[in-house]
Amino acid sequence: MRPTPGAQPAAFATGSGRVQSLAIDNVHLRVADRIGKPKVLLCSYSPASLVNSFVDEAGIVSLKPARHYVDYVCRLCDALAADFYLPFASQAAFHRDDSSWANRYRTTYRHLEQYWRSATRLLPPYTDIDLADLTYRSTSPGQYRPMGPERLAALTAERAGAEEAAEISAADIAGLRRKLNVFRWLLCLIFPRGFAFALGERHLRYDGLRGRLCDADAASGGCGDFVVSVPKLTMTEALRNNHLSDLGITMFVRVRLLRRLDPRKIYALFVLFQFDDYGHLRSGASLLRWVGLAIRYTLLLRLPVPRPENHHP
């Protein structure tokens, strides 16, 4: 957006989760209404999650269709009474051999146009808004500047080679076991047969009852209820950076369902990882601090209303 002194509208940026939308509804909306400025919403409209990563014997098991995300943005626009919606952060395309399948399941601008049901004006991606008079100029798809195909192919091949050459160490296995054992009894209750991680050719089965992570074979009961396939280097990076929940936003992590199972239970597994990644379960005090902050910034926060602007001749 191109700023202009004295004529700036209220702009909101949010992710695609429920917490962010509640925060906007209860905080920013009141401020925007009181200062009486036009409202511009910037929001992602495509999922970065495992919603389309589940596979069974019949094919892909999708948790949400593209229209769900368009409807979410429309509801958010209506709740904010936004004048303009500027889509962003959702123009990714996938070129790895293990992620190109996801291109068929992207939520695209075409879906926005097809399912748009809000009174808010829908703008194309890559749009400049002049804040003086709210006119705008959009970049046409023909003028996009994607990475050159040779450079893209080289980077993709380089990463694929690094993934293939990576090794899962005993320390990595111990780190993954520690992560899982934080929720050991809960996972034992939800997945009593256990589940496995496929790391290259190696399959590691987690047994919640015993708190063990060992090579999967017939003697150990196979792979359990499902198998999470993760590239080796990706897994080691997630573990060594203590952010296992990041695996839940990639398109090259796949989950193969081996039994009839609600995929939302597996989705919840990655939500649990996030609690540990950010230290919310380090102690009772840490958990209470997180709950307090969530309540404060979601429901109770009151932002000060900006003072009237002084215009100089």
Please report the domains of the chain, with CATH numbers, ordered by start residue: 10-49+65-146 (3.30.750), 170-293 (3.30.1050)
Q: Are 83 and 39 in contact (CB under 8 A)?
A: yes
The Cα 263–Cα 6 span in angstroms is 50
Average pLDDT rounded to a whole number, residues 19-25 = 41
Strand segments, DSSP code E, in the chain are 10-14, 39-43, 54-56, 59-61, 84-87, 121-122, 127-130, 135-138, 195-199, 202-207, 212-215, 226-229, 254-257
pLDDT at residue 251 tops 80: yes
What pLDDT was estimated at residue 7?
Answer: 44
Higher per-residue confidence, 48 vs 114: 114
**Residue 85, phi-psi category: left (phi > 0), alpha (psi -120 to 50), beta (remainder):** beta
CA 70 – CA 52 distance, rounded (Å): 16
Which pLDDT score, from 0 to 100, does residue 167 have? 94
User: If DSSP codes are grouped into helix, strand and coil, which group holds residue 272?
Assistant: helix
Confidence of residue 3 (pLDDT cuts 50, 70, 90): very low
Residue 198, CA atoms < 13 Å, CB-side half-sphere: 15
What was the pLDDT predicted at 27?
Answer: 57
96 compared with 32, residue with greater pLDDT: 96
User: Is pLDDT above 70 for 299?
Assistant: no
User: What pLDDT, on the 0 to 100 scale, is given for residue 20?
Assistant: 39
Q: According to the model, what pLDDT value does residue 54 have?
A: 94
Average pLDDT of span 208-223: 81
Percentage of residues in the chain having pLDDT higher than 90? 46
Own/partner long-range contacts of 294-297 (Cβ < 8 Å, ≥24 apart):
294/19, 297/23
Give the three-class secondary structure for 99.
coil
> What mean pLDDT, rounded, does the chain reach?
83
* pLDDT on residue 18: 36
Length of the chain measured in residues: 313
- 201, pLDDT greater than 50: yes
pLDDT at 9: 55
- Please report the pLDDT score of residue 73 as a whole number: 92
φ, ψ of residue 153 in degrees (nearest 5): -65, -40
> Do 69 and 47 form a contact (C-beta atoms < 8 A)?
yes
d(CA 234, CA 250) in angstroms, rounded, equals 10
Higher pLDDT, 168 or 283: 168
Q: Which of 90-104, 116-130, 153-167 has the lowest mean pLDDT?
A: 90-104
In this predicted structure, the answer to whether residue 305 has a pLDDT above a threshold of 70 is no
pTM summary value: 0.79
10 Å CB burial of residue 264 (0-12, 13-18, 19+) is exposed
Q: Are 16 and 44 in contact (CB under 8 A)?
A: yes
Give the Cβ contact number of residue 221 at 10 Å: 13
